[in-house]
Structure 1
């Protein structure tokens, strides 16, 4: 599978945001001299006198105040483009790392990593990432791995993805029933799968797809997001030549989708599943599910929702080669300008297939 296909397959997981929790407020037991030095640090930073600010920060004895001062100085060095100095200051932040916490130090380090990657200094970015806490480390490593891949260093990228995978396994709790942890897994595993595919590690992508499929089946209920994930897993199996597994995943998806209560969500989920059946040459099943999807969409008075389902269904019929049916269905698309664009897209698809 090409890197472009991998990005298309799991592209909506390519960027996984992590909400950074601010440090909990602490009751300072600092002496007046500490508070005075902290204020001096802030004034010197604003004046651009960073080396002098660092000297005053080192005099602060209160750990919380000192860490905040060092963080401020490191950020200022980073903004000034002095990344090596920023890294050295950030390393001196003594805030203890908790296994599942995102600390002040991690926040500072993450900004330095971004600056290094933007400057194309990927080796330095990797060095910074390695001293992060586990929660931040594996996602940062994945970001860096993608930069190496884009730079044409796929072997290097693959080794970093494997490193991120190992960190994730250490940081995560496989038996966790925490809802947030479960949802995080739904974002993280697809991202690993997509990046492994992009560097040609199909076997590992296949293994993680199986893991993700088994995990999804443990969830109390399915929604459109999990149905989309299952459809992508089916594509991974299909790309690996494991058509039976792909069909198994789609059959499960179809069963789960029928329990979705929201009409539009259910219709779109069915349309997406039908498209995957069509790609697997399961024509009879695809046609059946496409009919179910369009039947649910027709009564919908919300034009935009109806359009989404109709276009997805039309694409499914196009994959099946039933272009007359696809064009017939697009007559319900509103407004006419959008309808014309959809028809043009279908016509282009037909020409491409005829040229094969």
Structure 2
């Protein structure tokens, strides 16, 4: 094998970058590359063998990201796409693991489905979840006996979610299926957990009759369970005890708690949970009697807080106040995080004055700020704005006393998010003013947070308020003001408030990186006029936008501004005018010795507008080959992300080396395979095979990275990995893709073209997975 040595750890050649960029399993490091090859060769269940599974996993990751950003519509849409593909998976292990990751997530984190349900319940749109539950249910039902625990747990979880969204009858149809699967489970602990989940779901669905028998079976398993770690035994017994309490069987729950040994902290938590169940059912005396015997401060404080809240629900104010005081004094030595939580819950129950007085006694600035911020928001909801403003100011001052700038900014951002949720944008802006300049996270920086507040205000249709907030921005931050003013102007235009839209657009200044904002904003407003048939007004604004663009003296600014107006012409369907104006912009750009920066900026705007064909043509005119290659890679990725695989094929002819061409063809073929378009995939692979055979040099190369030498220049150590861009690697990948597309014979033919017998034999072992 020929070794290629690269000091400094990376090689910036177009071929290597392209191949790495377009690899179906994009690899971050050479070590990962070596590991991936080993896995692929040893397992028929690896992601490289299951392309549909890889696509589903990709969609699930995106759905998680959408839930994290609270974009419930996109999360639901993306999860539905994943679930549409899930039934087509042939490998039962991959299918079971994907169902598990979507529905139950065994690592203790909240599952994707659970987070999505919570978002829609919070938005009072829970009926929209029926579709996703209906899609995942048959997949869970189809799992074989080898995955019984996943099957019963996912069925129980789905049933629970049906109860949550107000369809208990559907839950009751599913639960007997889950119960039937439990009987095939191996292992007492697995069976016990599954039974408790079923019992809890029956209770959530309002059906109590089957619960006693299920809990009796759970208890029998728990009592027989043995483990060297007493906490594990305690946990098993505790879950059964709490389940009995939830079912109203308090005596049995208490008897079970007595059998928890050598785990006093856990026993206290269980007794606290039983006491809370007493309180929820209105049995306050029993709850108080039980809580007085608790040793653990945390459990005791939490339980006293629950009892106080239940006294409030029962209208017994004096008793609630007395028990709340006990909860506060019990929580203080435990920690002020717990204290703040108890205070906030009491405030949420309507006891604002008492909660406020108690919150002001907290010493820790972070805990104090959290409690005061929550109380201030509750005052706002209660219509007591004067008091709300005063408490919010106290919360901000407390947050500013935090010593760490990062944690301070994160807390302030959480406070801002809470105020934005209820439409208190000016309060959110006030909080943002306290953010310091030094924070390592750009999303926690003051300019970013302020822009986010204004964006949310505009999205809510509160344009006047957004404009007022924008005018409060730092006068020297003209760029941020321009970004905000553009959003507000367009929002006015879409609301057909054209005079305000134009007035706002004219407030945009020609400055810095936002020189093109005013002409583009004017052109975008013109588009809104066009949509409503007001052609003359639209023409006037287009003309004004072009005049502003042409008035800019710096060529780069003028080019960007003209291109920005051209984009709006494109979006309005005026292609001839768009082409003419873009040509003028490109001519201006070509007058510069290095046009790459200008053209890259223009291409970026077209990419944002999803005009990838035009972005492609603009990028081709860039003189800097390195920047050109990088931008072309970005555009190709957009074609692939948006499903425009045929369009991505046009890039083949712009690349010079065979390796670059093959890398792109393999990426396109992989997408065709993931989406079930195997005929097109086969056509692309045939083209890739012919080109791959022309790659010069030895069949296999070794890349050498991270070379360390001694003082005389002798090599001490280095990392060596297979070159993913050599002829042999490409031929192997083409063969595997043929097999994934169902063309096993073609895969074998490609394998036979390998010169190395050892490589060919290894590849044939991999291909055997597809027979």
Same fold, TM-score > 0.5, yes or no: yes
Unaligned runs of 5+ in 1: 1-26, 46-55, 68-92, 108-132, 150-156
Give the structure 2 partner of residue 175 of structure 1: 88
Does residue 350 of the first structure (1) align with residue 278 of the second (2)? yes
RMSD: 3.2
Give the structure 2 partner of residue 313 of structure 1: 240
Deviation, structure 1 residue 178: 0.7
Give the structure 1 partner of residue 139 of structure 2: 215
Give the structure 2 partner of residue 334 of structure 1: 261
* CA offset digits 1:8-61 (Å, max 9, x no partner): xxxxxxxxxxxxxxxxxxx77x9xxxx46x43xx27x7xxxxxxxxxx82xx36
User: What is the alpha-carbon distance in structure 2 between the residues aligned to residue 320 and residue 173 of structure 1?
Assistant: 36
* CA offset digits 1:306-329 (Å, max 9, x no partner): 433322221222112221221111
1:238-277 maps to which residues of 2 (within 5 A)? Answer: 238-277=163-202
User: What is the alpha-carbon distance in structure 2 between the residues aligned to residue 304 and residue 271 of structure 1?
Assistant: 18
Correspondent of 1:228 among 153, 167, 176: 153
User: What is the alpha-carbon distance in structure 1 between the residues aligned to residue 56 and residue 26 of structure 2?
Assistant: 10
Deviation, structure 1 residue 169: 5.8
User: What is the alpha-carbon distance in structure 2 between the residues aligned to residue 167 and residue 285 of structure 1?
Assistant: 36
* CA offset digits 1:118-158 (Å, max 9, x no partner): xxxxxxxxxxxxxxx95674244234313422xxxxxxx13
Secondary structure in 1 matching 2:209: helix
Correspondent of 1:160 among 68, 74, 79: 74
Deviation, structure 1 residue 257: 0.3
Does residue 297 of the first structure (1) align with residue 222 of the second (2)? yes
CA pair 136-255 structure 1, distance change in 2 beyond 3 A: closer
CA pair 136-280 structure 1, distance change in 2 beyond 3 A: closer
Give the structure 2 partner of residue 148 of structure 1: 69
User: What is the alpha-carbon distance in structure 1 between the residues aligned to residue 241 and residue 193 of structure 2?
Assistant: 12
User: What is the alpha-carbon distance in structure 2 between the residues aligned to residue 345 and residue 142 of structure 1?
Assistant: 34
User: What is the alpha-carbon distance in structure 2 between the residues aligned to residue 349 and residue 284 of structure 1?
Assistant: 19
* Contact residue 294 and residue 313 of structure 1 kept, 8 A: yes
Of structures 1 and 2, the larger Rg is shown by 2
CA pair 252-103 structure 1, distance change in 2 beyond 3 A: same
Q: TM-score, normalised by structure 2?
A: 0.29
* Contact residue 138 and residue 165 of structure 1 kept, 8 A: yes
* Contact residue 231 and residue 263 of structure 2 kept, 8 A: no
1:1-356 maps to which residues of 2 (within 5 A)? Answer: 35=4, 38-39=6-7, 42=8, 57=12, 60=13, 63=15, 66-67=16-17, 93-95=18-20, 97=22, 101-104=24-27, 134=55, 137-149=58-70, 157-162=71-76, 164-165=78-79, 168=82, 172=85, 174-190=87-103, 191-200=111-120, 202-221=126-145, 222-302=147-227, 303-335=230-262, 337=264, 338-354=266-282, 355=310, 356=313
Deviation, structure 1 residue 216: 1.6
Secondary structure in 1 matching 2:87: coil
Secondary structure in 2 matching 1:223: helix
* Contact residue 196 and residue 218 of structure 2 kept, 8 A: yes
User: What is the alpha-carbon distance in structure 2 between the residues aligned to residue 163 and residue 255 of structure 1?
Assistant: 32
Runs of 4+ in 1 over 6 A off after TM superposition: none
